[in-house]
Amino acid sequence: MRRFFLLLFLLLYSSAIRAAETTDVFPDPSRFPLPEAYKPNVEFWTRVYGEFHDNQMVIHDARNINIILDVVEVPEDNLLRSAAHLNVKHRLEEIRKVLLELQADPTAYNKSADHRKFYDLYKDIHDPNKFRNAAENLRIQQGIRDRFENGLVQMTRYLDEIKKVMVDEGVPEEIAYLPLVESSFNNQSVSKTRAAGIWQFMSGTARFYMNVNRDVDERLDPYISSRAAAKYLKRSYTMFGNWPVAIMSYNHGQQGIYKAIQTVGSSEFMDILNNYDGRLFGFASRNFYGEFLAACRVMHDADKYFGSLNYGKPLLFDSIKLSQSLSTSLLLEHADLTKEELRTYNPALQSNVLFSRRAIPAGYTLRLPQGRFPNLVDFIAKLRTNEPVHSKPPVEVASNTIPKTKKATSAAATPATYVVRHGDTLFGISKKFDLSVAEIRKLNGMNHSHIFPGQKLVIGRN
């Protein structure tokens, strides 16, 4: 009897342990599952974010992503980077040569330390062409540990408000961590393809959700762009039915994923990954969901990877929606603000506004340091006494909430759109509106010509 109770106790205890482990999984696996076959991808990106520093170049097999053949360090001094990258490429060619030699003669594993190392790395792979395939799929990945650490410190300035936005838009709050992948929460980040802000919106896509013009670029505003991202991802979830594919669409595009689903005949994440080989469906699209899961994992265990971090304090502010344009120079002079402070609280303002070449536009929600002005409405009203008299006195509305995004509008123009129908082609649409295909692609931030029924395309200005 005693043995029976001992066994029962051990069984209950082990079940409790497993339950505790399950509830501690982040993000929630019921919404963000990790398929067994996809675990190597997440493990690879976990190392990229939490182990490899920014000056380390990881040479790995893009197909067998968890096989790392070498890690090459490069000087942190930018002046030496070009020479360093030549060394990395030289090392990559050395590795490729060894792999091809192993393909030609597997018994050559004793030829050098590299031969033995690479042979052992692939010993559990039984494809007879494994070394040739590896030589053709070598890839260099820069470490991101230092950038990721800075992103965690920067993240906490905005995170509470961004989580509120996600919940408000009906999106899981874990999505708030996706900018760790996109930009490391650098709201001034601009990519080679001109994607901007913490969510890296292209201008064509952004104009469906935000203002992007010569006065403001709301892609650079962490709060407004977060609401735009939430709307985009919620639409993706509605279209595709699960969060892994919705997140993948944030990289590959909704129309790209739509085409993948039509080709494969399934909207399941692993079905698309295993069976779709579209020309534009490359390494980045295949790994974007894995990067998100890895970023969540490293963020959740930040103390394990980075020790104690000095997290940034939340950015606190009061805000007011301007009923009329406001002189930047007057604001800087009377609010005791520097241009850098104004940019910190209002990152969407373009340089010609910050440097007083143009006024802060009407309709803009201006943010100022919290508590600096007991009555923000009165302060702006008094400030306007130094401006030319308006025919009607402006009515200002103070607020401490984040404005909701809407389709971009301006006094000069609003986007004219066309809803794609069955049978449409981008070429046919271009002829209908007297535009070139290149112009439509540029207006919509597209790097391809794939469209799908129901898609809204910007085709000019009203």
Q: Are residues 326 and 353 in the same domain?
A: yes
Per-residue confidence (pLDDT) for residue 86, from 0 to 100: 86
Mean pLDDT of 410-438: 70
Q: Of 221 and 410, which is predicted with more confidence?
A: 221
30 has pLDDT over 70:
yes
Polymer length in residues for the chain: 462
Q: Is residue 31 included in any domain, yes or no? A: no
* DSSP β-ladder status, 365-369 and 317-321: antiparallel
Kindly tell me the burial class for residue 219, based on how many C-beta atoms sit within 10 Å of its own C-beta (0-12, 13-18, 19 or more).
Answer: buried
Band of residue 3 on the pLDDT scale cut at 50, 70, 90: low
Query: Considering 365, 399, 433, which residue would you say is the last residue of a domain?
Result: 399
Per-residue confidence (pLDDT) for residue 21, from 0 to 100: 40
Per-residue confidence (pLDDT) for residue 2, from 0 to 100: 55
Q: Is residue 37 included in any domain, yes or no? A: no
Mean pLDDT of 346-373: 94
Q: Is residue 39 included in any domain, yes or no? A: no
Per-residue confidence (pLDDT) for residue 443, from 0 to 100: 79
pLDDT digits (tens, 9 = 90+) for 371-397: 988 899 999 998 888 765 443 444 555
Per-residue confidence (pLDDT) for residue 82, from 0 to 100: 65
Query: Considering 142, 163, 184, which residue would you say is the last residue of a domain?
Result: 142
Per-residue confidence (pLDDT) for residue 59, from 0 to 100: 97
Per-residue confidence (pLDDT) for residue 401, from 0 to 100: 58
Q: Is residue 41 included in any domain, yes or no? A: no
The rounded percent of the chain whose pLDDT value lies above 70 is 84
Per-residue confidence (pLDDT) for residue 385, from 0 to 100: 82
Q: Are residues 125 and 274 in the same domain?
A: no
In terms of average pLDDT, the best of 15-29, 84-98, 440-454 is: 84-98
Q: Is residue 158 included in any domain, yes or no? A: yes
- CATH number, domain at 457? 3.10.350.10
Of the given ranges (6-10, 255-259, 363-367, 418-422), which has the lowest mean pLDDT? Answer: 6-10
Q: Supply the range of the domain harboring residue 60.
A: 55-142
pLDDT digits (tens, 9 = 90+) for 268-300: 999 999 999 999 999 999 999 999 999 999 999
Q: Are residues 189 and 302 in the same domain?
A: yes
Q: Of 412 and 38, which is predicted with more confidence?
A: 38
Q: Is residue 404 included in any domain, yes or no? A: no
Q: Are residues 265 and 289 in the same domain?
A: yes
Per-residue confidence (pLDDT) for residue 83, from 0 to 100: 64
Q: Quick check: helix, strand or coil at residue 365?
A: strand
Mean pLDDT of 91-114: 96
d(CA 293, CA 295): 5
Q: Are residues 359 and 392 in the same domain?
A: yes
pLDDT digits (tens, 9 = 90+) for 242-262: 999 999 999 999 999 999 999
441 has pLDDT over 90:
no
Q: Are residues 227 and 370 in the same domain?
A: no
- Residue 325, C-beta contacts closer than 8 angstroms, at least 6 positions apart: 359, 360, 361, 362
Band of residue 336 on the pLDDT scale cut at 50, 70, 90: confident
Per-residue confidence (pLDDT) for residue 211, from 0 to 100: 93
Query: Considering 274, 306, 338, which residue would you say is the last residue of a domain?
Result: 306
Per-residue confidence (pLDDT) for residue 24, from 0 to 100: 55
Mean pLDDT of 231-245: 96
Per-residue confidence (pLDDT) for residue 8, from 0 to 100: 47
How many separate domains does the chain show? 4
Residue 348 contacts residue 220 (beta carbons within 8 Å): yes
Per-residue confidence (pLDDT) for residue 413, from 0 to 100: 45
Q: Is residue 126 included in any domain, yes or no? A: yes
Q: Are residues 181 and 240 in the same domain?
A: yes
Q: Are residues 153 and 257 in the same domain?
A: yes
Of the given ranges (79-83, 196-200, 451-455, 457-461), which has the lowest mean pLDDT? Answer: 79-83
Where b means 16+ CB within 10 Å and e means fewer, 61-90 reads bbbbbebbbbbbebeeeeeeeeebeeebee
Band of residue 85 on the pLDDT scale cut at 50, 70, 90: confident
Per-residue confidence (pLDDT) for residue 420, from 0 to 100: 80
Per-residue confidence (pLDDT) for residue 69, from 0 to 100: 98
Q: Are residues 86 and 131 in the same domain?
A: yes
Mean pLDDT of 44-53: 98
Q: Is residue 9 included in any domain, yes or no? A: no
Q: Are residues 206 and 290 in the same domain?
A: yes
Q: Which residue has the tokens 């030549």?
A: 86
- Residue 141, C-beta contacts closer than 8 angstroms, at least 6 positions apart: 48, 52, 57, 58, 60
Which among 362, 350, 366 has a CA at the least distance from the CA of 317? 366
- CATH number, domain at 186? 1.10.530.10
The four Cα atoms 75, 76, 77, 83 give a dihedral, to 10 degrees, of: 40
Q: Are residues 348 and 419 in the same domain?
A: no
Mean pLDDT of 155-171: 95
Q: Of 115 and 82, which is predicted with more confidence?
A: 115
d(CA 100, CA 77): 34
pLDDT digits (tens, 9 = 90+) for 108-153: 999 999 999 999 999 999 999 999 999 999 999 999 999 999 999 9
Q: Are residues 154 and 298 in the same domain?
A: yes
d(CA 355, CA 341): 13
Please state, rounded to an integer, the average pLDDT across all residues of the chain: 87
The rounded percent of the chain whose pLDDT value lies above 90 is 68
